[in-house]
């Protein structure tokens, strides 16, 4: 039975797409059969972040409207054969997504994969509510910053009311993924701490992704950070988060890159 998970946040630019790609790749590396689905119709980016932008032929809207078969639209990752991507449409608008159409595609994906990970668009409109509609697990991506925390609170409210689970009187399994975290600044009182955010949002913590240059490097190269540099701090944090999603209990740590200072120095000299 497939697990349907939405990666959502309310606010834009906090790391939904980065996290979808990184978690999807980490789960796929663990042997799970994973599909990542881009729900950001009109502003698709998951394909680009994953380096599949030149292989897009058909998209989610084509499948929803019956113009293409699901198998024609799915793109298999070149690095991991257990990872697939279903891109969003770049030319259509979000009204092209119908609730029935999405339900049909989700049912078909659930048959084929172990994990269906839906990358939600920012905002609280149709695209975002459709992305969360079928989810049983939600990853709420939050930056330690006031506007992001406020929007996450709003999204948590929607997860508790607009999902199929909520309408049946059940609960979506919600998790907090704190991204762009800087432990040193938090310690100096310049940034909300993990504890602050957890106290305010009161949902369990899935992982803490440290602020890191590696994230931009990975997206420049079109690779999930968990694949491009698995030893980097954000990659280790995402790998831990993925293992927690698989039910493992791991100590919560914030990995850092700084130990590799001398290593970096050498690679720069050599280059």
Residues of this chain that interact with other proteins (CB under 8 A) are 145-146, 149-150, 153-154, 157, 160-161, 186, 188-193, 196, 199-200, 202
Helix (H) or strand (E) holding 95: none
Nearer to other proteins, 177 or 186 (CB): 186
User: Nearest approach, Cβ of 251 to other proteins (angstroms)?
Assistant: 22
CB of 187 to other proteins, least distance (A): 10
Measured distance CA(192)–CA(211) in Å, rounded: 14
Please identify, using beta-carbon distances, which residue of 72 and 202 lies nearer to other proteins.
202
SS3 260: helix
Residues 6+ apart with CB under 8 A from 252: 205, 207, 208
Instruction: Calculate Rg over the CA atoms of the chain.
Output: 18
Task: Please give the Cα distance from 152 to 96 (Å, whole number).
Answer: 26
Distance in Å, CB of 225 to other proteins, minimum: 27
**Least distance to other proteins from the beta carbon of 162, Å?**
8
Residue with tokens 């030149």: 54
Nearer to other proteins, 85 or 158 (CB): 158
| CA-based end-to-end distance of the chain | 48
CB of 200 to other proteins, least distance (A): 6
At 176 the three-state DSSP class reads strand
Angle formed by the axes of helices 233-245 and 213-221, nearest 10°:
80
For other proteins, give the closer residue by CB, 66 or 189: 189
Closer to other proteins at the Cβ: 53 or 182?
182
């Amino acid at each position: 039975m497939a697990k349907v998970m939405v990666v959502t946040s309310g606010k834009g630019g906090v790391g939904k797409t980065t996290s979808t790609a990184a978690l999807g790749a980490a789960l796929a590396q663990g042997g799970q059969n994973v599909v990542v689905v881009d729900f950001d119709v009109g502003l698709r980016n998951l394909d680009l972040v994953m380096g599949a932008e030149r292989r897009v032929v058909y998209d989610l809207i084509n499948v929803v409207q019956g113009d293409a078969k699901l198998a024609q639209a799915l793109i298999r990752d070149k690095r991991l054969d257990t990872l697939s991507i279903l891109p969003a449409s770049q030319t259509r608008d979000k009204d092209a997504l119908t609730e029935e159409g999405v339900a049909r595609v989700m049912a078909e994906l659930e048959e084929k994969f172990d994990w269906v990970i839906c990358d939600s668009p920012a905002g609280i409109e149709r695209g975002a509510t459709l992305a969360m509609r079928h989810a049983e697990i939600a990853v709420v991506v939050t930056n330690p910053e006031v506007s992001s925390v406020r929007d996450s609170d709003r999204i948590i409210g929607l997860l508790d009311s607009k999902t199929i689970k909520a309408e049946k009187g059940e609960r979506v399994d919600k998790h907090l993924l704190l991204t762009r975290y800087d432990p040193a600044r938090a310690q100096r009182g310049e940034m909300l701490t993990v504890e602050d955010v957890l106290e305010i949002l009161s949902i369990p913590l899935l992982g803490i992704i440290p602020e890191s240059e590696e994230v931009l490097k990975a997206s420049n190269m079109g690779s999930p950070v968990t694949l491009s540099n698995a030893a980097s701090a954000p990659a280790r944090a995402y790998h831990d988060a993925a293992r927690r999603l698989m039910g493992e209990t791991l100590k919560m740590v914030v990995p850092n890159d700084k130990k590799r200072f001398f290593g970096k120095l050498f690679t720069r000299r050599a280059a």
